[in-house]
Amino acid sequence: MHTQRFNLLPKWRQDDEKNRNTSFLGLVDLLKYVSEKLPKSDYKMIEIGSYMGESTMMFASTGLFSTIYSIDPLEGDEEFNEIFGYDWDFVKSEFSNNLRMFNNIIHYKDYSYNVVNKFDDNSIDFIYIDGNHSYESVTKDLQLYLPKIKKGGFISGHDYCDFWDSTKKAIINEIGIPDETFIDTSWIKKIK
């Protein structure tokens, strides 16, 4: 089975000479970076775009976050579903299976713009954006969710690369160049 983190499509993979799964390894590097910058382990995070819950599981596995808010409608157009013939029932099953061992994940089965008011401003330590990749959607997620981050917290996400030019442009236009980027095309910026 192809997945977006553990068995990525070759065209979406940023391979090195060893042909490693950089999607998995890059997120591990991001998580290491975050764990060094957030020294305790009682943080709240939001993940916009959880799909099969693979990255959600990785976030939960760190033990850094007391609460993880997962936002994904688990419906709509999804290129990965179209390519491999997955349907949303299959994706929902994988999502549940990947998160079955964690009790600190609250899933909002909705679009990010519909649930933004469920979060107080200055209440979230870390946000990871990996939802719709259009320029307009990434811009909207950044504009809506930046106020939710505590001073000293982090905004982050996926697909800061030329392949996803719309995502990269939206990030640069809204927050500037990220502080760090990672081999899986994840990025991060501290909110000051």
Q: What value does the mean pLDDT take over residues 31-53?
A: 92
For residues 111 and 22, the model is more confident at 111
Which ranges of 47-182 would DSSP assign to H, the alpha helix? 54-61, 79-84, 88-98, 112-115, 135-145, 165-175
Is the alpha carbon torsion for 61, 65, 67, 68 positive or negative? Answer: negative
**Which range (25-29, 33-37, 55-59, 139-143) has the least confidence?**
25-29
Whole-angstrom Cα distance, residue 103 to residue 154? Answer: 23
Q: Which residues contact 69 (CB under 8 A, 6 or more apart)?
A: 44, 45, 46, 47, 105, 106, 107, 108, 118, 119, 124
Above 50 in pLDDT, residue 73?
Answer: yes
Whole-angstrom Cα distance, residue 189 to residue 175? Answer: 8
CATH superfamily of 20-190: Vaccinia Virus protein VP39 (3.40.50.150)
**Is the pTM above the cut of 0.85?**
yes
Q: What value does the mean pLDDT take over residues 11-22?
A: 51
Kindly write down the DSSP assignment for every residue of 108-142, as one continuous string: E-S-HHHHGGGS-TT-EEEEEE-S--SHHHHHHHH
Q: Which two tokens stand for residue 128?
A: 């990871």
Whole-angstrom Cα distance, residue 4 to residue 8? Answer: 5
pLDDT above 70: percentage of residues in the chain: 89
Q: Quick count: other Cβ atoms within 10 Å of Cβ 93?
A: 12
pLDDT of the residue at 16: 47
